[in-house]
């Protein structure tokens, strides 16, 4: 049932040590917004239409800010958003009909939207926070050359000031200090590292300090309303938890302290003026299940769990099952994935971590030595890659900066010497030895989804075992929840 909600009364609201309270959960709850400073609203996206919306944090009211037609009628939809400190404007990313994102500002009661920034060269925008005086919007731009940029965009003129450029792996969150002199963001601790630290960058571009460091994943920083701390998610104590780092004049002022553990897979969204932290939790994990098929009805009769993940694929000889497993810390976008290869005889598992940022789908080669992986490489280039099943060595098959980050849909030729893939509405064939490519006239990839009626709640793709009687599939999905925590 879409749209159902829970609003739990705060237990001892504002008191130190209060328990988190569930504010909103719904299959359609979208966590790409932030609470208003006055704690009345949460900016979000109406899941049915893609319109920008405000959800009343006390009233539960859902107020549409934009008024586009139903999904499917156009390419337009709202994405990340943030509410101005005086709650008179909402800045948001708007996916336009030309296929890229622009930065818009609208009044919260609806009314005409103003396009503040529109540039296809920086076709992804993520408004992160308003300056305390409401004059600038801290915005992440993502450029066509796979560079992300921390920028300040003038809320009136749209003039852009690029403070700092980063590589394509962009900060998970950025925020202003309450005095407007600093911004905090998370980024890799150094070039080539996998862990993130927190940095404070002065808004005049003159100085930068490392606020929080260590071999841990430190991310999603949010400045406290009094300016004395930065709250952040970190696994520095083992599991991911909420921490706070004392800060003074953009510099560390003491050791980080644990604020709250046991918040699950949480993503901090913002803090209200009275010190309530709102965060999203991804509850639940999709399971990989293997079930038997009734020959006549093609229904799955029963199934057993073999692991957590998505997109299972049987090896050609049926001895191994590979799937995509979540790895690393949470983020707003596509989750980071490894490939699990399970030997179904001895139940041993091998985890492959190819040099890929995004893997959306895998397919075994006919000889069982490679997996064809759709996604993006570690430089953010979308396409098709093949991953050595023994070593995780990753080779590009078809790579294109214009390719979607989830990559191309592809399939092996029966002899395993070529790969067929969809690009721009056509099918191409790429020879693996020579790299030569030709357009295929038939224009169709070999079918891969089995003719099986999967149980309710199952998600494609499913994979049919070579015995024709066993199917592997994914059951369940994560459920977004919005929680509130009164900070001590």
Partner 1 sequence: MKRVAAIVFAALLPAAEHKVPLGLDAYVPAPETNPLSPETAALGRALFFDPALSRDGAISCAGCHDPARAFTDDKPLAVGVEGRKGTRRAPALLNRAYGRAFFWDGRALTLEDQVLKPIENPVEMDLPLEEALRRLKASGKYPPLDEALLAAALSTYVRTILAGDSPYDRYVAGDRSALDAEQLAGLRLFRGKAGCGACHLGPNLTDERFHNTGAGWKDGTFPDLGRFAVTGREEDRGAFKTPTLREAARRAPYMHDGSLATLEDVIEHYDKGGAANPALDPEMRPLHLTAEEKRALAAFLRALTGEIREGL
Chain contacts with partner 1 (rule: CB under 8 A): 118-119, 121-122, 143-147, 149, 160-165, 167, 191, 201, 204-208, 379, 381, 400-402, 435
Residue number with CB closer to partner 1 (210 or 479): 210
Supply the minimum distance, in Å, between the C-beta of residue 125 and partner 1: 13
Q: Supply the minimum distance, in Å, between the C-beta of residue 128 and partner 1.
A: 17
The phi, psi pair for 426, rounded to 5°, reads: -125, 165
CA torsion 183-184-189-193 (nearest 10°) is -100
Nearer to partner 1, 139 or 276 (CB): 139
What is the C-alpha to C-alpha distance for residues 89 and 37, in angstroms, rounded to an integer?
A: 12
Alpha helices in 250-398 (DSSP H): none
Question: What is the smallest separation between the CB atom of 141 and partner 1, expressed in angstroms?
Answer: 10
Q: Helices then strands (H, E): number in the chain?
A: 0, 40
Give the whole-angstrom CA distance, residue 463 versus residue 447.
11
Closer Cβ to partner 1, 72 or 192, answer by number: 192
For residues 292 and 428, which CB has a smaller minimum distance to partner 1 in the complex?
Answer: 428
- What is the 8-class DSSP label of residue 381? -
- The SS3 call for residue 108 is coil
- HSE (side-chain half, CA atoms, 13 Å) at 187: 25
Cβ proximity to partner 1: between 1 and 206 the closer is 206
What are the residues facing 398 on neighbouring strands?
Answer: 384
Cβ-based nearer residue to partner 1, 61 or 402:
402
Reported for 44-49, long-range contacts at CB under 8 A and 24+ positions apart, including other chains, are 44/81, 45/77, 45/78, 45/79, 45/81, 47/2, 48/2, 49/77
Nearer Cβ to partner 1 (150/325):
150
Kindly state the smallest distance separating residue 405's Cβ from partner 1, in Å: 15
DSSP letter assigned to residue 446: P
Q: How far is the CB of 355 from partner 1 (least distance, A)?
A: 10
By beta-carbon proximity to partner 1, the closer residue of 48 and 145 is 145
DSSP state of 168: S
Q: Which is nearer to partner 1, 147 or 350 (CB)?
A: 147
Helix (H) or strand (E) holding 251: strand 251-252
Structure tokens at 324: 């995509």
Beta bridge partners of 58: none
| Exposure string for 277-292, b = 16+ CB within 10 A, e = fewer | bbbbbbeeebbbbbbb
Give least dist CB 248 to partner 1, A: 15
Give min distance, CB of 164 to partner 1, in A: 5
Largest CA distance in the chain: 72
At its nearest, how many Å lie between partner 1 and the CB of residue 159? 11
Q: Closest separation between CB of residue 358 and partner 1, Å?
A: 17
Q: Could you give the CA distance from residue 202 to residue 209 in angstroms, rounded to a whole number?
A: 9
């Amino acid at each position: 049932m879409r749209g159902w909600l829970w609003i739990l009364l705060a237990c001892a609201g504002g008191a130190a040590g209060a328990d988190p309270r569930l504010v909103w959960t719904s299959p359609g709850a979208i966590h790409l917004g932030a609470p208003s400073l006055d704690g009345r609203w949460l900016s979000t996206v109406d899941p049915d239409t893609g319109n920008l919306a405000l959800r009343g944090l006390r009233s539960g009211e859902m107020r549409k800010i934009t008024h586009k037609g139903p999904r499917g009628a156009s390419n337009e939809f709202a994405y990340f958003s943030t509410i101005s400190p005086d709650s008179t404007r909402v800045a948001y990313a708007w996916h336009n009909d030309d296929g890229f994102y622009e930065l818009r500002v609208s009044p919260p009661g609806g009314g005409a939207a103003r396009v503040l920034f529109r540039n296809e060269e920086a076709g992804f925008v993520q408004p992160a926070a308003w300056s305390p005086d409401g004059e600038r919007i801290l915005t992440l731009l993502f450029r066509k050359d796979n560079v992300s940029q921390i920028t300040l965009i003038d809320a009136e003129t749209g003039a852009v000031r690029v403070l700092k450029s980063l590589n394509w792996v962009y900060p998970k969150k950025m925020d202003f200090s309450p005095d407007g002199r600093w911004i905090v963001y998370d980024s890799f601790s150094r070039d080539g590292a996998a862990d993130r630290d927190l940095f404070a960058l002065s808004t005049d571009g003159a100085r930068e300090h490392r606020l929080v460091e260590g071999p841990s994943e430190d991310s999603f920083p949010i400045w406290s309303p009094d300016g004395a701390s930065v709250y952040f998610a970190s696994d520095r104590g083992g599991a991911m938890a909420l921490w706070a780092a004392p800060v003074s004049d953009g510099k560390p002022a003491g050791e980080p302290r644990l604020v709250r553990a046991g918040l699950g897979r949480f993503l901090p969204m913002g803090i209200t003026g009275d010190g309530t932290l709102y965060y999203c939790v991804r509850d639940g994990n999709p399971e990989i299940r293997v079930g038997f098929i009734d020959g006549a009805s093609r229904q799955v009769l029963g199934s057993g769990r073999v692991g957590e993940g998505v997109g299972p694929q049987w090896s050609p000889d049926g001895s191994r099952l590979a799937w995509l497993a979540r790895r690393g810390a949470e983020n707003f976008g596509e989750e980071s994935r490894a490939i699990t290869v399970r030997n179904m005889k001895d139940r041993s598992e091998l985890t492959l971590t190819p040099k890929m940022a995004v893997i959306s789908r895998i397919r075994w080669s006919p000889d069982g030595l490679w997996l064809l992986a759709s996604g993006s490489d570690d430089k953010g280039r979308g396409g098709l890659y093949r991953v050595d099943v023994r070593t995780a060595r990753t080779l590009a098959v078809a790579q294109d900066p214009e390719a979607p980050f989830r990559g191309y849909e592809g399939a092996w030729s029966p002899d395993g010497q070529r790969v067929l893939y969809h690009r721009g509405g056509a099918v191409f064939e790429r020879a693996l030895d020579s790299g030569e490519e030709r357009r295929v006239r038939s224009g169709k990839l070999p079918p891969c989804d089995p003719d099986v009626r999967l149980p309710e709640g199952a998600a494609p793709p499913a994979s049919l075992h070579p015995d024709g009687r066993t199917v592997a599939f994914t059951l369940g999905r994560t459920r977004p929840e919005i929680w509130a925590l009164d900070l001590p």
